[in-house]
Structure formats: structure tokens, C-alpha cells
Amino acid sequence: TEPAHFEVDIPSGWQKHYTKKYFLIYKGDPYRQYIMVQERPTDKPFKHSDKLIDAGMTPPDAADVIVAELNADKQILDLKLIEQSRATIKGNSGFKLSFSYRLSPGTRFRTLYYGFVKDNTYFSLRFNVAADREFGRDLNVFHAVVNSFRFVADSTG
């Protein structure tokens, strides 16, 4: 299933994969480095924290919901928040998180995460890289994907 309400450009040499829950772009091993774009209704609670993000929240409050969700996820270990700040994503007021974490087998990851609400939908764009790869190498590719983000009119209505 293709994403219903957005499109992004696929970087040269990267592959794409869709599921009902997310849109993944990756180069090489998708478990070592990926860009994930998601949309979710604001009335759907997050899985681990049971919290909601709604259109009336300030960007810092919405960021706090995501941090609470990450902290509540038992698979995420040693979460270290590097940066939490406001950000504008394609003209939408949102937030940026930078963090690192470890999964139980021991692999450490570094993540750059943008989130924002438009109407009744929460959108997130995430760049995730395993610690054995250079984080900054494809950071410009992630920013190009973020900059290419665009909304698609719902053709079913």
C-alpha cells in the first residue's frame, strides 16, 4: 500500500518499501540505515505510552510525547536525547529530535527525527543509522527527502 497523504522523492541508489504502518527508504541493509516516513491519525494512541499527539499541542509538548513513547518501548535501551528543538517542516510547525539508543542484541543507533501535525494527522520523518556507519555520510540525503515531502490530495473523497 502506498502512503495515502504524502509523497517523497526516492534518492538515487536507495530502495523503497511500503507497509500499512510506514514507508521505508533504505540503502543496502535496511536494518543498518533507513529513512522512515509515517502518518497516523491524531486520535490513535501510541503503542507503548498510550499517549496522543493532537493538533492543539505545542511542538515541545508533541516532542515530549515521542520521547515518552521511546522511553516506554521495552526494546529501546540506553536512550540518550541529544537535541530537542522546534523545527519547520514544509511550512508546518513541528519539532526535531536527535537521539541514540541500543537494541537488546547490542546494536547502537543514532536517529534524527522530525514530527508535525497537519489537520488530524501526525507525520514523522526519521533517519536511523547503526553506530558502525558514519551518521553524517547520508545526512544530506535525509534532508533532501525531508525537503521533497509533499502532501497528496485524497482522491477517494
pLDDT digits (tens, 9 = 90+) for 145-156: 999 999 987 544
* pLDDT confidence of residue 106: 79
* pLDDT confidence of residue 2: 58
* pLDDT confidence of residue 140: 95
Mean pLDDT of the chain: 91
Span 53-74, average pLDDT: 95
**What is the per-residue pLDDT across 11-51, written as a single tens digit (0 to 9) for each?**
999 999 988 888 999 998 898 999 999 999 999 999 999 99
Asked if residue 123 has pLDDT above 50, the reply is yes
Span 121-145, average pLDDT: 93
* pLDDT confidence of residue 102: 95
Asked if residue 157 has pLDDT above 60, the reply is no
CA gap 53, 123 in Å, rounded: 10
- Band of residue 142 on the pLDDT scale cut at 50, 70, 90: very high
Bridging pattern class, strands 92-103 and 15-18: unpaired
* pLDDT confidence of residue 154: 58
Q: What is the pTM of this model?
A: 0.92
DSSP letter string over 45-109?
A: PPTTT-----TTS-HHHHHHHHHHHHHH-TTEEEEEEEEEEEEEETTEEEEEEEEEEEETTS-EE
